Amino acid sequence: MTVPLFLASTSPARLSLLRSAGVEPVLISPGVDEEAAVAVAEAAAGRALTAAETVALLARAKAEAVLDTRRDGLPLDGLVLGGDSAFEFDGEVHGKPHEPEIALERWRRMAEIGHGTLWSGHWLIDHRGGAPRRSREHPEGGAGRVASATLTFADDLDPDELAAYVATGEPLEVAGAFTIDGRAAAFITRIDGTPSAVVGLSLPELRAMVRGFGVPWHELWNSSTAGLL
């Protein structure tokens, strides 16, 4: 029996990672205003959120944002996963830079400091049967985990190299302004932690959450074609 996985993300990196692990998810754009969600949470807490708190908050927000999505007139029937990533270095938390100038300045600082930590948040909802399955272990029908990995950058990165990388556009829409599975892989000399967490999704953490809902990991393996709703 195959259990469908609905991914509340349009990240090509997360999709590629899941596919390489034998899971073909259905992609659903969550449409979450990330900055607004963090601002509300920080106002309520009266302080800035940590990197771990930020990715946990947004992963959950994304998963819950797609629960009302219907396919062929029917509610989602399977597991729903939300994910978020942020990069922390020099005491600051960074998401997607969006603008080339911001990405370039960030890379200049990262090259100078030489290391940082990539945080990946996950929120998984057991939505089999078309509604969240609540239990004593999961009273809200969902479970969350945060993974991290520390990266060390090459100590000989030069301005022209960084400018050329930013000019490709690759770092603009990814947390930390880099991707380990793209051009920036040549700039990273060491990873301490779960490698897949650097891509934005820790497969070991996801497997643990899936099993926590009583679903064997291999029941997510499928050969269907992912769709974007």
What residues form DSSP beta bridges with 152?
Answer: 115, 190
Give the pLDDT of residue 227. 47
Q: For residue range 167-182, what is the model confidence (pLDDT) as tens digits?
A: 999 999 988 899 888 8
| Range 15-23 average pLDDT | 94
The answer, yes or no, to whether residue 195 has pLDDT greater than 60, is: yes
- State the Cα–Cα distance between residues 211 and 206, nearest whole angstrom: 9
Q: For residue range 25-71, what is the model confidence (pLDDT) as tens digits?
A: 999 999 999 999 999 999 999 999 999 999 999 999 999 999 999 98
Give the pLDDT of residue 223. 63
| Range 7-17 average pLDDT | 91
Q: How many CB atoms lie within 10 A of CB 18?
A: 25
Among candidate residues 107, 198, 96, 95, the one with its CA nearest the CA of residue 151: 198
Token readout for 190 is 């060491």
Which domains occur in the chain, in start order?
A: 5-220 (3.90.950.10)
Judged on CB neighbours under 10 Å (0-12, 13-18, 19+), 84 is buried
Q: For residue range 100-158, what is the model confidence (pLDDT) as tens digits?
A: 999 999 999 999 999 999 999 999 999 999 999 998 888 888 999 999 999 999 999 99
Q: Which of 72, 84, 156, 181 is catalytic?
A: 84
Q: Is 84 an active-site residue? A: yes
Among candidate residues 67, 220, 211, the one with its CA nearest the CA of residue 129: 67
- State the Cα–Cα distance between residues 8 and 55, nearest whole angstrom: 14
The answer, yes or no, to whether residue 226 has pLDDT greater than 70, is: no
Distances (CA, A) of 76 to 64, 70, 156, 211: 12, 6, 49, 20
Burial string for 180-193 (b: 16+ CB within 10 Å, else e) reads bbeebeebbeeeeb
Give the pLDDT of residue 74. 92
